Structure formats: C-alpha cells, structure tokens
Amino acid sequence: MAFNPDLVALGSLAVPGIVWLVRLEGRINAHDRELRLLEENHRSAFEQLRSDVAYIRDRIDRALGAR
C-alpha cells in the first residue's frame, strides 16, 4: 500500500469531526436527562404548592365560617 497524502489529510479531518459528534451527542443526552429531572422536580413542587394552597383556603374558610 502506497502512502497517499490525500487519504492522510482526509483522515486528519474525519477523526476530530467524529470525536466532536460523539461529544455533542453526549452533551445532548446529558441535557435531556437534566431537563427530565427538572420537569419532575417542578411537577412535584407544583403539586405540593397546590396542596398547601388548598389547606390554607380550607383554614380560612373554617375561620370565617366560625365567626
């Protein structure tokens, strides 16, 4: 096999490009995981907040109804 400078040049460009694409995919996957966790945390916090507001409204209604 003869030394082909065009093949070496192509390989020197392709390898970093593939590495960059693999790293980019990893970053995208990590970002998706973070978004999923944030969504779950916000959903549970929102449900807790709704529960607290319902409790406070109930207490206010009882206090106003007792007068």
State the Cα–Cα distance between residues 49 and 42, nearest whole angstrom. Answer: 10
Three-state DSSP class for residue 58: helix
pLDDT at 35: 96
* pTM score above 0.95: no
pLDDT at 43: 95
Three-state DSSP class for residue 4: coil
- Digit-coded pLDDT (tens) for 23-65: 999 999 999 999 999 999 999 999 999 999 999 999 999 999 8
pLDDT at 1: 64
67 pLDDT more than 70: no
